[in-house]
């Protein structure tokens, strides 16, 4: 079998970004993954750090933090490259590392992220005087009155109007936002007609659940061009059309760039010669197959995707290369007694530690493999959920590993 310049293991945000960045540098890339990845579950926003100015907060992190291994240049370049990929798929993102942009959540609170899909950019709502919140009959977990109650805390002196429309999707059965987005793709006119009937003006904002199609902003464009008011999508409970749009944008880029994508390919072990990984072994129903590579990027996610497993409480394992996994020693450091304690959770810092080239290291800091790089959720040493850095670490570590 032909040797790939780069093999990427894992089809989540980090794996897609790594494959795209390597392909953009004219590398031959094979992406091996199984399962649908977590992108269709994610909000679609890319969080870099929970601080007013993420860029400044990242500069102040300790040297052991994954962002310090990634470095400011890769962070910046990754952000630009991410925006290029999404723009090419008509899924423009807005934002940058020096700011946080609000998006309206499914319950009407505001969530701040550094990069958000343009369709969710709620910063523009600030200048609006009247806000319509549109509920769809039969759509689960979206209540206009609750959203308005919460939005009133942020947008004072505005007029709010709750509206309920019936698009007769699935004959009135309960549906999710993903169902609605799929049903409305290339069938946007019933929604456009209902929204036109609101007679909203350019001074108004229309807030709706994220149902504007599953591919880029194509459905949004059809609806928006028929309205005088601007239209804003909220987040929703998983599965999420915004995450699905991002997944599709990456798939489009990867296919166009000639990346070989092998789904349902579970990598079971690496093939190594001394400090070099020469390939990986994929298990399928009847036999095992070896894929040779010059460089391997491990983007298998953390606990949630099987990138790190935990059979015994204090022995987390990385199942493919048996890499050492950092975790906080002592049960008392494993978790806080209060879930919302305002402090990081020890178990969430579990993961693989690396050098500045994102190559795995042992407890003494020695690099274990010269051509293996670890990216995304399986990087250890910080609580990505607490500091809200999952997306930023995923795209920037992937970009660095692929372009180094």
Ligand X SMILES: Cc1cc2nc3c(=O)[nH]c(=O)nc-3n(C[C@H](O)[C@H](O)[C@H](O)COP(=O)(O)OP(=O)(O)OC[C@H]3O[C@@H](n4cnc5c(N)ncnc54)[C@H](O)[C@@H]3O)c2cc1C
CB atoms within 10 A of CB 68: 16
Candidate residues 4, 27, 33, 176; the one interacting with ligand X per rule CB under 6 A: 33
The yes or no reply on residue 13 touching ligand X (CB under 6 A) is yes
Q: Does 390 bind ligand X (CB under 6 A)?
A: yes
> Which residue stretch of 20-28, 59-67, 88-96, 300-308 sits at the interface with ligand X (rule: CB under 6 A)?
300-308
CB neighbour class for 72 (10 Å; exposed up to 12, middle 13-18, buried from 19) = middle
Question: Which range in 143-151, 220-228, 250-258, 301-309 contacts ligand X by CB under 6 A?
Answer: 301-309
SS3 (DSSP) at 386: helix
Q: What is the DSSP letter of 103?
A: E
- CA 154 – CA 22 distance, rounded (Å): 42
Q: Among residues 224 and 247, whose Cβ is nearest to ligand X?
A: 247
CA distances from 193 to 134, 174, 188, 199, 200 (A): 13, 22, 9, 11, 12
Residue 222 φ then ψ, to 5°:
-60, -45
State which of residues 45, 85, 116, 169 lies at the interface with ligand X (CB under 6 A). 45
Report the distance separating Cα 79 and Cα 75, nearest Å. Answer: 6
Please report whether residue 4 would count as binding ligand X according to CB under 6 A. Answer: no
Q: Is the peptide bond before 239 cis (omega within 30 degrees of 0)?
A: yes
Out of 306, 334, 336, 345, the residue judged to bind ligand X by CB under 6 A? 306
Residue 279 binding ligand X, by CB under 6 A: no
Show contacts with ligand X in window 191-230 (CB under 6 A).
Answer: none
Comparing CB distances to ligand X, the nearer of 20 and 45 is 45
CB 115 within 8 A of CB 95: yes
The yes or no reply on residue 43 touching ligand X (CB under 6 A) is yes
Distance, in Å, from the CA atom of 377 to the CA atom of 42, rounded to the nearest integer, reads 13
Stretch that binds ligand X, among 27-35, 153-161, 181-189, 342-350 (CB under 6 A): 27-35
| 95/333 Cα distance (integer angstroms) | 36
Residue 304 is a binding residue for ligand X (CB under 6 A): yes
Using the minimum distance from each CB to ligand X, give the nearer residue, 219 or 396: 396
Interface residues with ligand X (CB under 6 A)? Answer: 9-15, 32-35, 37-39, 41-43, 45-47, 238, 266-267, 299-301, 304-307, 320, 376-377, 390-391, 394
């Amino acid at each position: 079998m032909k040797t790939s310049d780069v093999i990427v293991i894992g089809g989540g945000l980090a794996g897609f970004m790594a494959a795209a960045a390597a392909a953009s540098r004219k590398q031959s890339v094979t992406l091996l993954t199984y399962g649908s990845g977590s992108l269709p579950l994610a909000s679609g926003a890319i969080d870099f750090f929970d601080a007013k100015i993420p860029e400044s907060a990242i500069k102040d992190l300790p040297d052991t933090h994954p962002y310090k291994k990634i470095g400011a240049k890769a962070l910046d370049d990754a952000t630009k490259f991410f925006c290029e990929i999404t723009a090419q798929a008509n899924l423009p993102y807005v934002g940058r590392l020096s700011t946080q942009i609000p998006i309206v959540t499914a319950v009407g609170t505001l969530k701040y992220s550094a990069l958000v899909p343009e369709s969710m950019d709620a910063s523009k709502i600030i200048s609006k005087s009247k806000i319509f919140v549109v509920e769809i009959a039969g759509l689960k977990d979206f209540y206009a009155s609750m959203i308005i109650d919460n939005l009133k805390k942020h947008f004072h002196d505005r007029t709010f109007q709750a509206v309920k429309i019936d698009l007769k999707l699935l004959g009135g059965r309960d549906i999710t936002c993903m169902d609605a987005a799929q049903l409305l793709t290339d069938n946007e006119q019933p929604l456009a007609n209902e929204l036109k009937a609101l007679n909203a003006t350019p001074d108004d904002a229309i807030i709706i659940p994220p149902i504007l199609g599953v591919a880029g902003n194509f459905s949004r464009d059809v609806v928006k061009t028929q309205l005088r008011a601007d239209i804003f999508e909220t987040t929703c409970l998983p599965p999420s059309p915004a995450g699905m749009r991002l997944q599709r944008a990456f798939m489009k880029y990867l296919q166009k760039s000639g990346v070989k994508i092998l789904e349902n390919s579970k990598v079971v072990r690496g093939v190594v010669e001394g400090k070099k990984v020469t390939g990986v072994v994929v298990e399928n129903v009847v036999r095992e197959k070896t894929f040779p590579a010059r460089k391997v990027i491990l983007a298998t996610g953390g606990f949630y995707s099987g990138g790190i497993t935990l059979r015994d409480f204090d022995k987390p394992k990385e199942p493919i290369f048996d890499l050492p996994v950092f975790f906080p020693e002592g049960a008392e450091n494993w978790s806080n007694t209060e879930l919302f304690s305002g402090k990081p959770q020890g178990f969430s810092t579990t993961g693989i530690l690396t050098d500045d080239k994102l190559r795995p290291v042992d407890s003494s800091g020695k690099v274990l493999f010269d051509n293996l790089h670890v990216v995304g959720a399986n990087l250890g040493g910080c609580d990505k959920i607490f500091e809200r850095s999952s997306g930023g670490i995923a795209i920037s570590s992937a970009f660095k590993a692929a372009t180094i």
